[in-house]
Amino acid sequence: METIRAFIAVEIDQPNKQKILDLISDLKKSEADVKWVTQDQMHLTLKFLGNIDKIKIPEITDAMRSSAQDLTSFTITFSKIGAFPNLNHPRVIWIGIDKGAENLKTITEKIETGLEKLGFKREGREFKPHLTLGRVRTSKNMPELTKLIKEANFSSEGEIQISELILFQSTLTQKGAIYTKIGTAALKL
């Protein structure tokens, strides 16, 4: 059995990736100990699958297509910057979704239902649409990072069109994760 690490996500456009990189650059001025995402790692995860048998890729892709077949493409916009579990004790820094959040929740629920039939466990917590900016490693310079997050004024570079679901393979390397598309499912236009 050959396994790969995989997840299902939607991508964002280049202008928004650039705007997010500019935001990360500003947040890095805090010199906090955070593993920031790179441009190639920017996406909105809908379902993390973990290690899967490669032989299941066609089944997963079919479940994605089944989930997407009745859904129409839509647009999203970003909202505020936040942190899990909260800004006082951040572990994950993120940008939330404003417009389109309900659409993302609907898609995620359909994906969860489709994958449950294939033996994947449902996510135990409520889905909160977000794009991860970075993961906090230590508390170094945390007050400064929190201050910069609270001062940051971020909004989308226009609306972002969401028209397909993507199955990604995640390969962990010393320089960070490398994501490779291994399946897609188009939403109706």
Looking at 76, 130, 136, 187, which residue is catalytic?
A: 130
In the residue annotation, 43 being an active-site residue is answered as yes
| Run of H or E residues at 114 | helix 101-116
Vertex 13, ends 8 and 16: CA angle to 5°? 115
Looking at 19, 43, 56, 110, which residue is catalytic?
A: 43
Query: What is the CA 117 to chain-centroid distance, rounded?
Result: 23
- Other CB atoms within 10 A of residue 39 CB: 11
Q: Is 40 in contact with 179 (CB distance < 8 Å)?
A: yes
145/87 Cα distance (integer angstroms): 9
Q: Is 104 in contact with 77 (CB distance < 8 Å)?
A: no
Q: Is 152 in contact with 26 (CB distance < 8 Å)?
A: yes
Which residue, 64, 72, 74, 70, is CA-closest to 182?
A: 64
Active site residues: 43, 130
